Amino acid sequence: MTGETILQTDKDMLREGLSKYTRKAFHMLPKLDKPRILDVGCGSGVPTIELARLGNGQITGLDINQPLLDKLTRKVEEAGLSDRVKTVKCSMFDMDFPDESFDIIWAEGSTFIIGFERALKQWRRFLKPKGCLVAHEFTWSRPNPPQKVYNYWRELAASGIRTVREYLEQIPACGYDVIGYFTLPENAWWIEYYDPLENRIQELRPRYINDSKALEMLDAEQREIDLSRKYHEWYSSAFFIMKKR
Rounded Cα–Cα distance for residues 199 and 196 (Å): 5
Q: Give the pLDDT of residue 5.
A: 62
In terms of pLDDT, which residue wins out, 78 or 155? 78
The mean pLDDT of 74-99, rounded to a whole number, is: 96
Average pLDDT, rounded, for the chain: 91
Mind giving me the DSSP string for 197-231? HHHHHHHHGGGGTT-HHHHHHHHHHHHHHHHHHHH
Instruction: Identify the structural domains of the chain with CATH numbers, from first to last.
Output: 11-186+234-244 (3.40.50.150), 189-228 (no CATH)
In terms of pLDDT, which residue wins out, 186 or 108? 108
228 Cβ contact list (under 8 Å, min separation 6): 189, 190, 194
The mean pLDDT of 167-172, rounded to a whole number, is: 96
The mean pLDDT of 211-224, rounded to a whole number, is: 88
